[in-house]
């Protein structure tokens, strides 16, 4: 039986995450390094594109009314696999080397983003957007939502009374389809609309240490 493109891309993303040995500054840095890895590490893809624009009006049940630019789209033999990325960080200072010379002082290489409730929301938003893209376009047979963080908070389930409880990313259990804030009167609820994903997903977290910094990542098939 033919291996689906989504499974090939998933395997390559895991290889990238397992082999990377440098700290990435932010999500754009992550996006470009991964895209180059997919494009250059093998000759098996016909194309690897970034910031792949789709007018949101093309998608049914799209609730955000905001631009949709898929982080990475991989093409092979007429089949497409879109990849959405999230890279959520806590502050890290590190002594960088530039042009083969160590800098004199430590540099903030990753900022403290905080707002983990919105970080979780953004992950599930990626999942839903990938579902809608797959449903709309026949040649998109699957997609991947990738989440990388050095903030262990994301791997833990929040309290059932937390406003963002239904957006949690706890490992090892089927997570609810309904994604909504428990308190509709909060700012988060007013600016980030509720939605539903197409099925119950399970999260599996992996770990990676880079420069003595522990990272956690998951790759979810859509």
Tens-place pLDDT, residues 73-122: 999 999 999 999 999 999 988 887 778 888 888 888 888 888 999 999 99
What pLDDT, on a 0 to 100 scale, did the predictor assign at position 119? 96
Average pLDDT, the chain: 93
What pLDDT, on a 0 to 100 scale, did the predictor assign at position 140? 97
CB 188 within 8 A of CB 67: no
Tens-place pLDDT, residues 126-180: 999 999 999 999 999 999 999 999 999 999 877 888 999 999 999 987 888 999 9
């Amino acid at each position: 039986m033919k291996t689906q493109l989504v499974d090939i891309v998933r395997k390559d993303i895991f290889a990238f995450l397992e082999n990377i040995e440098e700290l990435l500054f932010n999500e754009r840095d992550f996006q470009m390094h991964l895209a180059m890895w997919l494009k250059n590490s093998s000759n098996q893809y016909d194309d690897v594109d970034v910031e792949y624009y789709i007018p949101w009006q093309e998608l049914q049940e799209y609730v955000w009314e905001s631009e949709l630019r898929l982080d990475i789209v991989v093409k092979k033999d007429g089949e497409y696999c879109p990849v959405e990325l999230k890279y959520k960080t806590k502050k890290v200072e590190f002594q960088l080397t530039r042009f083969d010379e160590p800098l004199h002082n430590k540099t903030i290489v990753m900022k403290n983003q905080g707002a983990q409730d919105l970080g979780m929301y953004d992950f599930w938003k990626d999942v839903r957007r990938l579902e809608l893209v797959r449903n709309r376009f026949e040649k998109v047979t699957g997609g991947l939502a990738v989440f990388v963080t050095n903030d262990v908070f994301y791997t833990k389930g929040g309290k059932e009374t937390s406003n963002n409880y239904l957006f949690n990313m706890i490992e090892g259990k089927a997570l609810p389809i309904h994604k909504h804030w428990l308190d509709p009167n909060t700012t988060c609820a007013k600016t980030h609309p509720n939605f539903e994903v197409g099925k119950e997903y399970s999260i599996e977290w992996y770990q990676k240490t880079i420069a003595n910094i522990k990272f956690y990542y998951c790759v979810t098939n859509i």
